[in-house]
Structure 1
Amino acid sequence: MFFAYGGRGCGSRHGSWRRGPFEVRWEMGHRGGGGRRRRMFDGEELRLVLLKLIADQPRHGYDLIRDIEERTGGAYAPSAGVIYPTLTMLDDMGLIEAVSEGSRKEFAATQAGRAHLAEREDEVAALFERLDALGEERARVDRAPIRRATANLFSALQHRLSRGDVTADMLHDAAAIIDEAAQKIERL
């Protein structure tokens, strides 16, 4: 497994998936200004994802956020500040329409919206593959035990090193133990 804390993406001008020990993130590639994070989807991609979800069944904004978050295992959830303006844009474009009024307005896909999805079927499938891959990665690598163990290590170090009887030999012994653990992890 490749771990990276930052730096440049590799290979593509569009970016690359990078894994840190506690997260999976999308980073900009060489031409995008390496190391900077970008959004999971650009505006057009998010419009297609939302349109597809709405075409599957009428939904309101919160439903859409929750569905995407569930698909990614919590790794990605678009904000309301992105979802609602995008829904307004899809409505203005005639691709969706409000089907209920009230505090939570549900939207359904129009005929024009379904035709738009049919024209871009391959692109839509690729976008959902991206969402599903992120969810599968998140499910495959449950980081909770690692976070707990790392916190336990830091707590033990802080507790032991805060005593007044710490010697240089103790510091070297603690460093050796941590180095040995790191080597064992690398060999897993």
Structure 2
Amino acid sequence: MRLNPATEKFILHWGEMGTQWGVNRTMSQIHALLYIIGKPLNAEEITETLGVARSNVSTSIKELQNWGLVQKVSILGDRRDHFTTNTDVWELARVIVVERQKRELDPTVQFLQELMDSPEFENENSSVKARIKETHEFIETVTTWSTEMLKLPTSSLKKILKLGASIKKFLR
């Protein structure tokens, strides 16, 4: 498949963004391709379009499926597996936030709680204990807040995010 210049730039940038977030470049580019094209593609089409190894496409698709970002679909008359992603950027953001919370924040909250419950924690100096408790409280608060925000309808979430710093007038 031949890509238009703007589409190609978008996919390349999405790949760069992914690497900044600790995600494999090819995995990010595959997701970007499926998102921007907005129709199911088979692995061969993805391989040809992106110019990457077929094995890399297979591995990346499996990981994208593990993240809940890519789904396998069947096309009538074609025995090959095709892959698609949600084209609603707000829904994609929800999936990514939930997955990152599950993979990064939840284990950290659990680790910090276990650390605070451990016998060696009591032997730490008070400033170290205070920082660990503050870190635990911060991550737990951010996780709880984002979980509640993700439950809101997209229209409400957009309004809240557009408020930005002006929300402080409601806090006075």
Sort the TM-score into its range (normalised by shorter chain). 0.3 to 0.5
Indicate the structure (1 or 2) with the bigger Cα radius of gyration. Answer: 1
The structure with the largest helix share of the pair is 2
TM-score, normalised by the number of residues in structure 2: 0.34
